[in-house]
Amino acid sequence: MAVRQTSNNVYGFTTPIAPLFPFPIVSNRAPSTNDFAPIGTQWVNKPANEIYFLSSIEGNQANWVTVAGGAGNFETLTVEGFTSIAETNTSQAFIGIGTSNQPNEIDIGSLHPDAKLLLYAGENEGISLSAGGNVSIFTLETAAAAYTAELNALAGRIRLTGQTLAAGATQDITITNSWVDLDACGLVTVSNLGSNDAKITVERVQWLAGSLVISVINNGTQALNGDIKICFWIFS
């Protein structure tokens, strides 16, 4: 049944009758366009734990606005302090960002040196990246003219310049990295440049406290006459 609530008045001292703000309407349902009350009236849908406000009455229809949730188009959205966007529904939920099938650029995170971005997913589903095979990882880079280098990063590229490792010779390459410890593991690749028949191959990778040692051998028929390129990705 539709509700029609009138204004509340109280006897005052300076005026005979003073208006009061309308009392909230507590109901077991959401309001409809046929529920009329003074503008600004609060409606509480108790079973659904939702709150509505009457914003206007137009064309003999009541317009109730919910404050339980909403949607909108934003050019910019600025928040301060800790902010959480969560789905409280117990069923499977979907939260979409930039799903308009447009050539959007979506930036998430901060480039501040102390900023951190965490992505969580359940062990049964995991995290899926769908980009037509075009997934890139930003890496730090450094170069050295010896068989040692320092690069403190989880993912990085190192170029050892001007190397002349002889055919059949072995060499240990030490990379100092504060992210590495005895329990670390990851991916390490080594390749070489140069016109000679040099084939730099990884024999072993040792994960130590604060560094990793890459043992390589030149399996080619000629000495190396170019740079050695090392790429690594550490799983923390």
pLDDT in tens, 107-133: 888 888 888 888 888 888 888 888 888
Residue 15's pLDDT is what? 61
The yes-or-no verdict on residue 220 having pLDDT over 90 is yes
- The average confidence (pLDDT) of the chain is 86
Q: What b/e readout covers 30-59, taking b as 16+ CB neighbours within 10 angstroms?
A: ebeeebbbbeebbbebeeeeeebbbeeeee
Say what the pTM is: 0.62
Give mean pLDDT, residues 202-225. Answer: 97
Give mean pLDDT, residues 206-212. Answer: 96
pLDDT in tens, 166-187: 999 999 999 999 999 999 899 9
**Residue 154: left if φ>0, alpha if ψ -120 to 50, beta else—which one?**
alpha
The yes-or-no verdict on residue 50 having pLDDT over 80 is yes
Give mean pLDDT, residues 142-162. Answer: 96
Pair 158, 150: CB distance under 8 Å:
no
Higher pLDDT, 80 or 43: 43
pLDDT class for 192, splitting at 50, 70, 90? very high
Q: In percent, how much of the chain has pLDDT > 90?
A: 53
Cα–Cα distance for residue pair 51/53, rounded to 1 Å:
7
The yes-or-no verdict on residue 72 having pLDDT over 80 is no
SS3 sequence of 49-112: CEEEEEEEEECCEEEEEECCCCCCCCCCCCCCCCCCCCCCCCCCCCCCCCCCCCCCCCCCCCCC
Which segment, 8-22, 57-71, 142-156, is predicted with the most confidence on average?
142-156
Q: How many CB atoms lie within 10 A of CB 63?
A: 15
Domain boundary assignment for the chain: 8-109, 141-235
CATH topology of domain 141-235: Jelly Rolls (2.60.120)
Residue 109's pLDDT is what? 83
Helix, strand, coil proportions of the chain in percent (round to 5)?
0, 40, 60
Pair of tokens at residue 142? 């450094």
